[in-house]
Amino acid sequence: MLFTFSRDEADVSTRIAKPRQRMRKQPRQARSRATVEAIIEAGAHVLSGLGWAGFTTNKVAETAGVSIGSLYQYFPDKLSLLEAIRRRHFDHVLSVIRDSAADGKPLRKFAQDLVRGMIAAHSIHPTLHQVLLDEAPSDRGSRAAHASFQAQYLNHYATAVAAYRKPRKSADTETVARVLSSAVEGVIHNAARRGMLDAPELQKQLVELICAYLSGVKTA
């Protein structure tokens, strides 16, 4: 079988060094927005399943059920598509943390919503986050986007810590937020790699960990 190589795959190394173009144009109509969403979703699926080495615009277009020309209407190359996938993943994770701590809900409800939401965010494409961190290329723009994500990520956790931490000690809010976010992130990512995201006992124990830590219960 013959494969047609996309123009963006001819010299990836030189393209990475150049300033990255974002989307060629923004979708305005419902149909075009649906097309862009289908392309981004297909891209996440391909990237998660095949890694950066198998990520091509031809494969993404085929998976999305659109022509390669339709893909290029919105994304000038696969690096711009990668950026859209990365930003959507970041936005999804941030919305989970933000929504989990909303409405002044009890601590256990917050922990349950956070765990369920984070698991759901990583269950669709379990290896996507790892590929984005370990394999996909980055430039100044993507590194800035990741730095912005990390700042917002920690801020959302700090907001939750300020609301639920007992006893409340404002001086250590950021440290507690860093420890909590690292613990949740580590468990979720490790479970994703091992195919254990749907294990009920893992979810239960992670909820217990969050509740014990924020309620100030001493385990030793």
Helices (H), 165-199: 173-194
Is the per-residue pLDDT at 104 higher than 90? no
What percent of the chain shows pLDDT beyond 70?
83
- Whether 158 contacts 174, CB under 8 Å: yes
Q: How far apart are CA 158 and CA 206, in angstroms?
A: 18
Instruction: Give the burial class of 38: count Cβ atoms within 10 A of its Cβ; 0-12 exposed, 13-18 middle, 19 or more buried.
Output: middle
Is the per-residue pLDDT at 85 higher than 60? yes
Q: Which tens digit of pLDDT belongs to each residue from 133-192?
A: 888 888 777 788 888 989 999 999 999 999 998 766 555 888 999 999 999 999 998 888
pLDDT, average across residues 30-58: 93
Question: How big is the chain by its Cα radius of gyration, in Å?
Answer: 20
- Whether 55 contacts 78, CB under 8 Å: yes
Instruction: Give the chain's domains with CATH numbers.
Output: 13-79 (1.10.10.60), 86-215 (1.10.357)
